[in-house]
Amino acid sequence: MFESGTMLVHPTYGVCEVVHIGKIDMKNVKDDRLYYTLVPLYDVKSKLYIPTDSENIGLRPVMTKENAVKLVENLPDMEPIPVQNEKEREKVFKEMIRNGNCEDISRIIKTLYLRKQARLTAGKKAVSLDEKYLFMAREQLYGELAVSLGIEKKGVEEYIAQTLERV
């Protein structure tokens, strides 16, 4: 069980803070279960209510600063995702983002970045579906990296660039 004040990663809403643990008083909720009340860090107007006894809800603690630094330092060695078929690529990316594994999401970003650069070099436009998944992956990963590293979300890309220059 997580404690109030803990920062967690939700598979859909990204980084959230546990602001309360207890019963909820809402219409159509007639059980005596305990719920986590979560507030997404980057959407403070939202609240999520997750039963504490739910299995497979996908909540996990935010990665440590040490793990965040290692993840960024290992970006050059990460292999792009070798999926050639467009429909298969979307399916794979969607599942990887849903699972929330930071290394997989980093690989998505790298794959799509390299793909975009190759297309632009060849005089082609970026693919809108690629842009969609690049945005989703960055939102999820950069939010968590910002919390782990203690920096603003908008500074994550610059942090990555500076780290890669030193590696």
CATH at residue 140: 1.20.58.1290
CATH at residue 46: 2.40.10
pLDDT of residue 165: 83
- Is 83 in the same domain as 54? no
- Is 129 in the same domain as 161? yes
- Is 25 in the same domain as 69? no
Q: Is residue 2 part of a domain?
A: no
62-83: pLDDT as tens digits: 999 999 999 999 999 999 998 7
**Phi and psi angles of residue 132, each rounded to the nearest 5 degrees, phi first:** -60, -50
Q: Is residue 98 part of a domain?
A: yes
Please compute, for residue 142, the number of CA atoms within 13 A of its CA located in the half-sphere on the CB side. 19
Q: What's the pTM?
A: 0.88
- Is 135 in the same domain as 110? yes
From CA 167, how far away is CA 165, in angstroms rounded?
6
79-136: pLDDT as tens digits: 999 877 888 989 999 999 988 899 999 999 999 999 999 999 999 998 899 999 999 9
Would the pLDDT of 57 be above 90?
no
From CA 160, how far away is CA 166, in angstroms rounded?
10
Would the pLDDT of 30 be above 90?
no
- Is 141 in the same domain as 127? yes
Residue type, 40: P
The last residue of a domain, from among 61, 77, 98: 61
> Number of folded domains in the chain?
2
**Can you tell me which residue has the tokens 């993840």?**
71
Q: Is residue 153 part of a domain?
A: yes
Domain that includes residue 27, residue range? 7-61
- Is 145 in the same domain as 69? yes
- Is 101 in the same domain as 47? no
pLDDT of residue 142: 96
Whole-angstrom Cα Rg for the chain = 18
